[in-house]
Amino acid sequence: MNMNKEEAKQKLKKFMRDQVFTFTIESYPEGRWVAQCNEVDGIMTCGTGYDQGEMEALIQDAILSAAGIPKEFSSGIIKRVWSNDLSVIPAPSSEIKSNVNITLFQSTYAS
């Protein structure tokens, strides 16, 4: 099925149901990271290095993929609204893994 930009926007809006999507990012000393959505099981991505632009692109791609929207529509239908009050959150002691930092990455995605 071919999809136009307006159809992609509507599909994303229906998928997200006005939710705020937050991601827990586990970062490792050797430069790997894994991001998993807290609200929707199965939305996750990973990469190497800590280039914030690349992380953002991969997270957006994971959201679009879960919604069934081609990556070509990422520009203009999904964006991150920044929050300045984010910080590293200590993991509960039962979940602490050696050499892993748990970071909360909170994003609101909208068309």
The label of the residue with tokens 């894994």 reads 34
**How far is 51 from 19, CA to CA, in rounded Å?**
26
* Whether residue 47 has pLDDT greater than 70: yes
- Alpha-carbon separation of residue 98 from 3, 50, 102 (angstroms): 45, 19, 11
CB burial string 22-40: b at 16+ within 10 A, e below: bbbbbbeeeeebebbbeeb
Mean pLDDT of all residues in 77-90? 57
Give the pLDDT band of residue 108 (cuts 50, 70, 90).
low
pLDDT of residue 27: 80
For residue 70, what is the DSSP state? -
Q: How confident is the model at residue 42 (pLDDT cuts 50, 70, 90)?
A: very high
Average pLDDT over residues 63-73: 91
For residues 49-60, give the mean pLDDT. 84
Query: To the nearest whole number, what is the mean pLDDT of the chain?
Result: 77
Pair 108, 22: CB distance under 8 Å = no
Write down the residue that tokens 């050696």 correspond to.
98
Contact 38, 46 (CB under 8 A): no
pTM of structure: 0.77
Name residue 3's amino acid: M
pLDDT band at 66 (very low <50, low <70, confident <90, very high): very high
